[in-house]
Amino acid sequence: MPVLRAILLGAALLGVVTSAGAESLLPNELGRVMILEYHKIDLPENRWTRTPDNFRRDLQRLWDGGYRLIALNDYLDGKIALPRGTTPVILTFDDSSPGQFRYIERQGDWVIDPDCAVGILEEFARTHPGFGHAATFYVLPGADPPNRLFNQPALAAKKLAYLASHGYEIGNHTLWHANLSRYPESVVRNQIATAQEWIQRSVPGYRLRTLALPMGAYPREVGWAVSGSANGATYRNDAILMVAGGAAPSPYAKSFDAQHLPRIQAVEHEIAGWLAYFEHHRDERYVSDGDPATITVPAGSAGKVRVLPGTRIADQR
C-alpha cells in the first residue's frame, strides 16, 4: 500500500554530492514530469522534424540529467518504479510519419531501421541499461500517405503488433487527424471509435487508453472525447493530451488533470529550455524515492497530494 512520507527537504533540496561525484537529488514525488512530443524523425531539422542524430542527443542529455523513460499509462496509473534520485520522462510521437518506425530489408529479412525513432530508442536502451525504451505512438490509421501508419502499408499491421508487444503504447490521434473543434458530436465520436477499430484490426483487443488531440483542438464538449461509442465500437480515454503547456503535474498532485495533460514540443529550444529550467528549479522536478509503494513529498505539502483509489496516506512528519 502506498504511503505518504513527508520528509524534510528544505535547503537540502539543492542536492547532495555522492561519492561518485555526481549530484543526486532528494526525492520529490510531487514534482513535475516532462511529456515530450515528437513529430518527424528525419532530415533536415525543422519546426516539426528532429534529425536522428538530434534525437540521439536528446536521449543522451536526458540520460546524463538523470531522466529515465516510463510509459505514459504507468504515469497515469501512478505506477512509477524508478531508482531513487532519478526523474521520469515520457516520450510521445504524433502522426505516424515514416521516420518514427521503418523497416529496412537486410539479406531478405525485415529489420528495424537503426535511424528511425524505434531503432534509435532500442539501441540507446541497449547501451544504457536502466534508461528504458517506453514511448506512446499517436498513429493515424486513415490519413493520407506518408502519415498513414508509418507509410509502409504491407508492414503496418506488423508494426502495430510490434509496438503493442514490445513495451510501447499506441494512442488515439483520430482516424485522419481531424480538428475535433470543427465537428458535431457524431463525427467526433466516429473519428475516435473508428481509429481504435482500425488499430484493433492489427492488434485484436488492444485498448487505446489515451487521446492526443490533433492540433490540440478540443471538441465542443470534452466528454465526447473521453468516452462513448460509435458504429458499435466503445472507447474510453483515460487521458487527453494537448500539444503544448509545459511540464505535466505529478500524477499524485491535486493539480493533475487527466483531461488536460500538457506536453512539451520536442524541438531544440524547448528541450534545452526545460532541461535548464529543472536544473535551476530542482524543487519543481519529480524525483523518485526508489520505492513505488511510498509517495515521498516535501514537508508541509501533504495537502497537495491527490489520493489515488486504494491509496493509504500516512504522513510521517
Rounded Cα distance between 12 and 277, Å, is 18
Least spacing, CB of residue 173 vs Zn ion, in Å: 6
* Cell digits of residue 258: 487527466
- Pick 29 or 95: Cβ nearer Zn ion: 95
- Pick 52 or 214: Cβ nearer Zn ion: 214
Binding site for Zn ion (CB under 5 A): 94-95, 214
Contact 42, 113 (CB under 8 A): no
* Cell digits of residue 25: 537529488
Rounded Cα distance between 7 and 297, Å, is 6
82-117 as b/e: b if 16+ CB within 10 A: beebbbbbbbbbbbbbbbbbbbeeeeeeeebbebbb
Least spacing, CB of residue 214 vs Zn ion, in Å: 5
Least spacing, CB of residue 266 vs Zn ion, in Å: 13
- Pick 4 or 225: Cβ nearer Zn ion: 225
| Residue facing Zn ion at closest CB distance | 94
Least spacing, CB of residue 100 vs Zn ion, in Å: 12
Least spacing, CB of residue 172 vs Zn ion, in Å: 11
- Pick 105 or 144: Cβ nearer Zn ion: 144
What CA–CA distances, in Å, run from 31 to 74, 90, 201? 16, 14, 39
Q: Bridge partners of 87? A: 67
- Pick 239 or 302: Cβ nearer Zn ion: 239
